A and B are shown apart, each in its own frame.
Chain A
């Protein structure tokens, strides 16, 4: 046993083993590198990326200004200023809607909290900017993100389900009608 160990040391057996390993990696060259800006990773379908405000298919905003997203947000990203729709005292909308994306941790709780599915999470993640004030987004910017990421829009709730009241009831809470 002693002799074997001596022989191994003298013949650089361990070093030769290591060098064999590196050489085999060179000969069976299969890089795991993803050449990032040129090729991009396939994202999972439930990827939680940039937040967006959504619209109905007639172009009206889904948001009813209920502030539940603001309440649900753990890092106080969202600020909503709610107001009555002019001329329609029964309806409300968000007059101003701000998101400070420097603080967002992409937990998705606001999306869960929204009763009318007005918020969505996109697959966008390339949001590096030189000035972090550019990450303080207003309503128009959030709607624009939604427009470019969700081309297929839902109908208004009252047209989807003529027998339910038309706002403040989430689509997901309504029992689905068998077609």
Chain B
């Protein structure tokens, strides 16, 4: 009986989160084109529906009914596995993101946390691990297409993802040291009370602003977004690793890219900007409406990061490949390491501050 209730609750929770994420992805595809257009004195999509708001529906329908082409000489198994391999890790990471207050509700004798699917004690490691698996989807997709452009895109993304994953991992170590936990729920709860308790502004004793900058640059690189979109450089590699993909398989890669963007924004929010906590205590409202304000502030912070992604794309040109590697290994890595050293010294000298 308990198992049944738990299963039903968890499944419904997963359903709600998935629908929310996929709807956000749909909105993002439109918003990205709109924001990019506005920044470049254009209008963006205007034809489908009033001001083009039905564009994601039209795109989805088009991709759904498009012919699914498998190129001659492609490794069919790998070719069909790769989009799934990149989509699943992008969506599965949302399982540990706390998007509302850390409540425990008793439903029919089952302890149930309504605002996080599962609070595992190695949440951030889980996200990093699955992000690395997502790289396999890109590499295998590029390799199995039997196309030189795809192969080059896949190789580039392999090198890029490995070097920048390292920086993501190292830049969050400071936060983990200060909160002495890997669980995203615990990390969020440690930042309650006001914006001065957020790890970006110096909660826990040592401001992690530098670590945040390293994290956000590496996150942009890891999601293959401009200015680090070398794996899918349109002007050089047609479309990079998904050159040969069409129809729903292409849609999977597309969903994975935007899902990764949202996931990375959620992680940045949770680790550095206090998750669902408001910048001031009074903005959070009374205890009973914490779930409304919590979800609002969480969504607000995540959308600011998503806007930052668009903003960067509208502004910056693509890096050259050697610049990308040099920047990752010779600039970001030492900064992240220095941040770990400083943070550990502070955490050792003033424990529990």
Contact = CB atoms under 8 A, between A and B. Distances in A.
A65 B61 CA distance: 57
> How big is the A interface, by class?
10 to 19
B311 interface: yes
B42 A22 contact: no
Interface stretch (B32-40, B96-104, B234-242): B32-40
A165 interface: no
Interface stretch (A29-37, A51-59, A102-110): A29-37
A32 B312 CA distance: 22
Interface in B32-72: 35, 37-43, 46
Nearest to A33: B43
A86 to B, nearest CB: 55
B311 A23 contact: yes
B311 A22 contact: yes
Nearest to A21: B315
A152 interface: no
B289 interface: no
Given A26-B35, A35-B46, A19 B41 contact: no
Given A31-B43, A33-B43, A35-B46, A26 B315 contact: no
Contacts of B37: 31
Contacts of A19: 311-312, 315
Nearest to B331: A9
A32 B38 CA distance: 10
Given A23-B311, A26-B35, A29-B38, A15 B43 contact: no
A3 to B, nearest CB: 19
A22 B46 contact: no
Nearest to A18: B315
A32 B37 CA distance: 11
B316 A18 contact: yes
A25 B311 contact: no
B39 A22 contact: yes
A31 B314 contact: no
Contacts, number: 36
B316 A25 contact: no
Nearest to B210: A10
A19 B43 CA distance: 19
- In this complex, the member of B35, B37, B315, B316 whose beta carbon has the largest number of chain A beta carbons within 10 angstroms is B315
A26 B38 contact: yes
Interface in A1-56: 15, 18-19, 21-23, 25-26, 29-33, 35
B316 A15 contact: yes
Given A18-B315, A19-B315, A26 B39 contact: yes
B319 to A, nearest CB: 12
A29 B314 CA distance: 14
Contacts of A21: 315
A25 B41 contact: yes
A25 B38 contact: yes
A30 B315 contact: no
B76 to A, nearest CB: 38
A26 to B, nearest CB: 5
Given A15-B315, A15-B316, A18-B316, A25 B39 contact: yes
A159 B42 CA distance: 55
Contacts of B311: 19, 22-23
A29 B39 CA distance: 8
A5 to B, nearest CB: 15
A30 B316 contact: no
B215 to A, nearest CB: 15
Contacts of A15: 315-316
Listed from nearest, the 6 A-B pairs whose CB atoms lie closest are: A22-B39, A18-B315, A22-B314, A22-B315, A33-B43, A31-B43
Interface of B: 35, 37-43, 46, 311-312, 314-316
23 contacts: A18-B315, A18-B316, A19-B312, A19-B315, A21-B315, A22-B39, A22-B315, A23-B39, A25-B39, A25-B40, A26-B35, A26-B39, A29-B38, A30-B41, A31-B37, A31-B41, A31-B42, A31-B43, A32-B42, A33-B41, A33-B43, A35-B43, A35-B46
